[in-house]
Structure 1
């Protein structure tokens, strides 16, 4: 693996209906350690996040940047970092960059000149897995919000390609094991 692509809300930070300002951004337990593990292992680490709240008028690009500044400051203070953040402000499901479409992931693969089979996408929704699947990435789904088994209602072609974990920290350990094989 060369590139780790992360969804943000529900994978890195606790998901509220909307995280609209830095004060509402709260890391999920173990997320900082997981991202520090990625950096220590030498992976390129990026975020691809739908942020349709911008188009909906819930907050501005400046608000989003302030949230990301807080996140990056805390990550860097604890040995982690994010090499690039891309986001889709649109709530139009036909936007090629909005997940479940693969546009943001393809953008990151091209930016870092990484082949899809050298990348993993870690998300927490079926739409994330669809985006990663369509981009050709390895898939890890963090099962953190629905009752047991709900995620397993995904189409078989996605389930067969997806590794299921409970936290981003567990995902970092799975990737470490993959690298040892």
Structure 2
């Protein structure tokens, strides 16, 4: 019988990785000029890797031949990746005081943030960021800011869920319930 706790944790990891991948790719697609910021690219990588590990972990709940000790190490690696991505994006957003405030200081902090402004061009000594507003004058950085906040929030969540899987995996392994199955031994999350 499968443990409900294991299925819920793996499901949360699957959801978290999907959201991180989707939001990071969406932010990258909105980059109009210049390269995609490294924080956004790292988020897309972590989301993809997290999705692969989550699918492997979900499959391990039903396929006894998968090495559960190896999955614990993959979960540990993913927790480090999630934490690195979350911290890098949080630091990149450090100067942004509010995603929705309309005062000049808040708008300026969003317009000059490389994650939110969609890329800038530098003709001469000027800096022009043509992707901060729409043709009708609507501020596009507000939605990007909220997406970036959701991205690092889910990255921190992925870190917590992955770390929880590591702790559970090591506890089960120490009790003899993890690792590759032997004849007559119980499997992880039974």
TM (norm. structure 1) is 0.24
- The structure that has the greater radius of gyration is 2
Higher helix proportion (structure 1 or 2): 2
TM (norm. structure 2) is 0.23
Higher relative contact order (CA 8 A, sep 6+): 2
Higher strand proportion (structure 1 or 2): 1
